[in-house]
Structure 1
């Protein structure tokens, strides 16, 4: 099973909220490059299909994190399968239709050479996490905790005010869990190319 098929399978198995079928329809349409887009221009997942692969990696990391005994019993974090799938699979919708193929010059062995790259061009510069929340909300309602988790999934590595990040993590533990899963997927599973 390829990443697109697995994404669709997980999505359909766990996400049943009103409007979720229309969101999946959009993701699969010609208006969206979700299944073909990279996850970044030059770092993790900077290849065709990197975005869907990253989304699945975050899903797997989040599921694993939330299954830990300490997280469940000591911290009391307990979320349903739908919320887990929503925040993990959809946290980076903001990257849809933002990357275009291009080339850049690099010097190898004293010679300049053109190599393929992705150029970032966001035609809806609404921020990162908040743009994903905005896009999802056009199709289905999020719980407050889901919205905050997606909004603050970049954690302290984003450009947000650190006080807001800390407050969001304290008030909405799913935000911390998603941020942890996102970083684990980004830095340990996918790494920097």
Structure 2
């Protein structure tokens, strides 16, 4: 039982170290939590995407992705385009949004379909997700055999589950701060910087150095 528990803990710690970082997906989850719009759907879908990617990585897809450069190139440019567009929207909100949390929540209700599409885009259009979740976790999982590998994967999945739901629902603690329009402007500006920073890093990585 001890080796299984060790594999579980190591999987959890690796998954947590990869997912707990300022990124496009986490920024979107935080914003949804602050606005209290489709919070459960957002957290659950992010978790589900991570679980699927972890299963694919442990199952050997990571090796396949690294052996086909065209897949990496498509993901890189597609992800960069999406992040540039969403970053532009965030920067535009800095100059257009003059409402606090209560007014903004009543004025702009996002449809479930739009939320689902946004979550899927943030979860699947970023090549870093595949490098971290599929390739890295997949390659490290090869150090475990049989049932230990399964427990390692479960540990990584538990890290995603814990993080996304904690981030989405924990954002409510910051709600009083975001009743002021200035707080939203700062958050939108930071989100825009994160989106564009990741997008430009993807574009930079696409060119040989």
Tell me if TM exceeds 0.5: no
TM-score (norm 1): 0.28
TM-score (norm 2): 0.27
Which structure is higher in strand share? Answer: 1
Q: Which has the larger radius of gyration?
A: 2
Higher relative contact order (CA 8 A, sep 6+): 2
Which structure is higher in helix share? Answer: 2
